[in-house]
Amino acid sequence: MRRLFPVAGFVLSVCGAASPLRAQALVPTEKLPTQTVCMDCHGPIGDSVKDTVPRLNGQTVEYLRRRLDDFRSPGSQDPHATDAMWETVINADDRMLSEVADYYARQPPTPAKTGRPLAEAGYRLYLAGDLANQISGCAGCHGASGEGGGQVPRLAGQHGVYLKNQLERMRLNLRVSGAMHPKTNSMTDKQIEELVAYLAGE
């Protein structure tokens, strides 16, 4: 497991004195850090290539900061998340985690694609839920288009495989979420596929 490198902040090697993690947003002329712990998996702007690794670009800063804090309590996370994140965050101080959250939140989000099979059914479920089975709609918390807000995460444009994994883990309470477990524990596999079809960015 990789540990945080023994230098100030998250940057191993940069051109110039100012840390890019403090940048307002990436622009074509900005010099990027050549390597960071986060970028190994999540990519330079958080638009991860691997579909099991969440996209962080454009995520709400409050959610990112809270999620990083969550990883300090491994008992509340599924084993995969604990293996991937615990040793990294336990060696980071609050300032470092806040800088990372702020950096990724400032990056442009990946847009969700449209027209996928099952997406129409997913859109209806996202807006209205399935009240007969005590599944409330998602839009009330996550926004009309999945944009999120505050400590509620952005869902639009996220990797489909990652979303599916998280919904299944919340349904089984492998990822502890007092807000989400009651809403997912009666979801069918098909309903999860429908939601993912609407929200996913691939």
Query: pLDDT tens for residues 152-188?
Result: 999 999 999 999 999 999 999 888 889 999 999 999 9
Question: What's the pLDDT score for residue 133?
Answer: 92
Quick check: 120 pLDDT over 80?
A: yes
Quick check: 36 pLDDT over 80?
A: no
Regarding predicted confidence, which is higher, 143 or 40?
Answer: 143
Question: What's the pLDDT score for residue 201?
Answer: 66
Query: pLDDT tens for residues 49-107?
Result: 999 999 999 999 999 999 999 888 877 777 778 788 888 888 888 988 998 999 999 99
Question: What's the pLDDT score for residue 90?
Answer: 86
Which residues does 131 contact at the CB level (< 8 Å), separation at least 6?
Answer: none
Which of 109, 83, 82, 97 is CA-nearest to residue 38? Answer: 97
Cβ(55)–Cβ(48) below 8 Å: yes
* Residue 113 CA to its chain's centroid (Å): 17
pLDDT-derived band at 25, boundaries 50, 70, 90: very low
**Helix extents (H) in the chain:** 37-42, 61-70, 79-90, 94-105, 119-128, 139-142, 160-171, 181-184, 189-199
User: Which CATH number applies to 20-105: 1.10.510.10, 3.90.550.10, 1.10.530.10, 1.10.760.10?
Assistant: 1.10.760.10
Give the predicted TM-score (pTM) of the model.
0.81
Q: What is the mean pLDDT of residues 24-47?
A: 63
119-199 matches 20-105 in CATH topology: yes
Which of 18, 9, 34, 17 is CA-nearest to residue 100? Answer: 9
Cβ(156)–Cβ(145) below 8 Å: yes
Cβ(175)–Cβ(166) below 8 Å: yes
Question: What's the pLDDT score for residue 202?
Answer: 65
pLDDT over 90, % of the chain? 57
Q: Is 135 helix (H, G, I), strand (E, B) or coil?
A: strand
Question: What's the pLDDT score for residue 83?
Answer: 83
* Domain 119-199 of CATH type 2.60.40.180: no
- The residue extents of the domains of the chain are 20-105, 119-199
Give how far Cα 124 sits from Cα of 16, 155, 197, Å: 49, 16, 12
Alpha carbons 58 and 14: distance in angstroms, whole number? 23
Quick check: 30 pLDDT over 80?
A: no
Number of helices followed by number of strands (H, E) in the chain: 9, 0
Question: What's the pLDDT score for residue 199?
Answer: 95
